[in-house]
Amino acid sequence: MNVSAVDSLLAQMRAAATMAQGGAPLTHSSPSAATPDFSTLLKHSVDQIAQSQSQADSLTQQFTSGSPNVSLSDAMMAMQKATITLQTGIQIRNKVVTAYTDIMNMQV
């Protein structure tokens, strides 16, 4: 795994941490860009989790089958990235369910 891939991973983790703390996502898009709706964001997030899991599975299978193109560090980094992505998704789901429950329990 090269240095640019690690830098990219760190940037993704920082962006996820900023979003988890309620901050605005760090994007470089123009302000006039259309804001995606919740269902699009949810689908994109679930697709990212699935893609991360499948990439980790693929690299793990390639490493265990003895492929010379995949190193142990690549497989381990992919597995850790998939785990972190899944845990982030679970934590976001828990926060959304808690917020929904709090809203439903409010007296009107």
Separation CA 48–CA 29 (nearest Å): 20
Q: Hunting for tokens 């980094």 — which residue is that?
A: 77
Per-residue pLDDT of 69-81, as tens digits, reads 999 999 999 999 9
Smallest Cα–Cα separation from 1: which of 79, 88, 70? 70
Would you list the DSSP string of 2-54? -HHHHHHHHHHHHHHHHHHTTPPP-----TTSPPPPHHHHHHHHHHHHHHHHH
Domain boundaries, the chain: 37-108
Residues of the chain with pLDDT under 50: 1, 29-32
| pLDDT score, position 10 | 72
Q: Does the predicted model carry a pTM greater than 0.75?
A: no
E strand or H helix that includes residue 63: helix 38-64
